[in-house]
Structure 1
Amino acid sequence: MACFLFFILLVLDQLSKCFIRMYMIPGESIPIVSGIFHITYVLNPGAAFGMLAHQRWFFILAGLFLIGVFFRFYPYWKRQCVWFRYGCISLLSGAVGNLADRVQNGLVVDFMDFRIWPVFNLADMAIVFGVASMIYAILFRMKEGEN
């Protein structure tokens, strides 16, 4: 089930970005709910909020490091509660999705625009939900000796 979740999240992320690249030009914005939600094609050279812009190799190395950490500790994590385990899978999927963009062209395709928040993508959502799930597990679900 964990592999299925990983691949579903990754495929949805990559397909949505491919669709945006094929049918829109950077900077183009299509209102879905005018003034509330738009599909806006942005090429992000940095991390969240554009931090560390144009640090491609830093983000590629950080992504590869995260993948290494995941596989190193996966035997331990897969014995944890489902909130933690699937949080790790979601985080990894998002990281790999954005890593793929950085390797391909040095920029991450962002397109979900709620007008009150910086534009983001499905991989970013997977990362945020993954971290939130892991925090929830650590705070409320994980007890010593509990699976």
Structure 2
Amino acid sequence: MPTFLVYFSITTNRKGAPDSMLIVDTILIILLVGVDQFIKHAVVANIALGGEHPLIPGVLSLTHLRNNGAAWSILQGQMWFFAVIAVVALGIMGYFFWQYRRDQNHRLEELGLALMMAGTIGNFIDRLTQGYVVDMFQLDFINFPIFNFADSCLTVGVILIAIGVYLADRREAK
């Protein structure tokens, strides 16, 4: 069974037993943060600041960039602002994550929250340890800001939550 389908087939345990989805989601978050940090460290170690390495010519390049702001480099140099926002966001996501953990009708939202938490933690680690976020993925075929794996987790997480909310609304309307 594909890994993605296994995620949705796990059932929650009876009260008092370990919450299997909480364990799975925690492992997923740790794994995604680890992948994010590995990619960032590999880029820093192998590509000079401002340097570029084509992965798929004309489509995708790795570019070593330091981002002192948020998405698209807005609010440059406001590290403490972003640290506070990250802590508050993690608290809010954690609340909803806890609410959804035993409701099989909200698995998509739960997965989206896990991805968003991983992305937030990945960029938060950079801000706390370096004062900036390492960005590296450059889409060569379109004028689009350079981003990192954590940003991708955040984006996919938001999309999954939006789809989950839409599907939940459709279920309730029936």
1:121 aligned residue = 148
SS at match of 1:81: helix
Q: Separation in 1 of the partners of 2:107 and 2:95?
A: 19
Structure 2 unaligned regions, length at least 5: 1-23
Q: Separation in 2 of the partners of 1:33 and 1:127?
A: 23
Q: Which residue identity lines up with residue 122 of structure 1 in the other structure?
A: F
1:77 aligned residue = 100
Q: Are 2:165 and 1:138 equivalent residues in the alignment?
A: yes
2:41 aligned residue = 18
Larger gyration radius, structure 1 or structure 2 = 2
Q: Separation in 2 of the partners of 1:134 and 1:122?
A: 18
SS at match of 2:135: strand
1:3 aligned residue = 26
Q: What do you get for the CA RMSD once the two structures are aligned?
A: 1.4
Q: Separation in 2 of the partners of 1:81 and 1:75?
A: 11
Q: Separation in 2 of the partners of 1:32 and 1:71?
A: 36
**How does 1:97-116 map onto structure 2 within 5 Å?**
97-115=122-140, 116=142
The range that moved more, 76-85 or 60-69, is 76-85
Q: TM-score, normalised by structure 1?
A: 0.91
Q: TM-score, normalised by structure 2?
A: 0.78
Tell me the percent identity. Answer: 27
Q: Separation in 1 of the partners of 2:132 and 2:98?
A: 33
Q: Separation in 2 of the partners of 1:141 and 1:73?
A: 15
Q: Separation in 1 of the partners of 2:96 and 2:135?
A: 30
SS at match of 2:63: strand
Q: Separation in 2 of the partners of 1:38 and 1:71?
A: 34
TM-superposed CA distance for 1:106, in Å, is: 1.1
TM-superposed CA distance for 1:72, in Å, is: 3.1
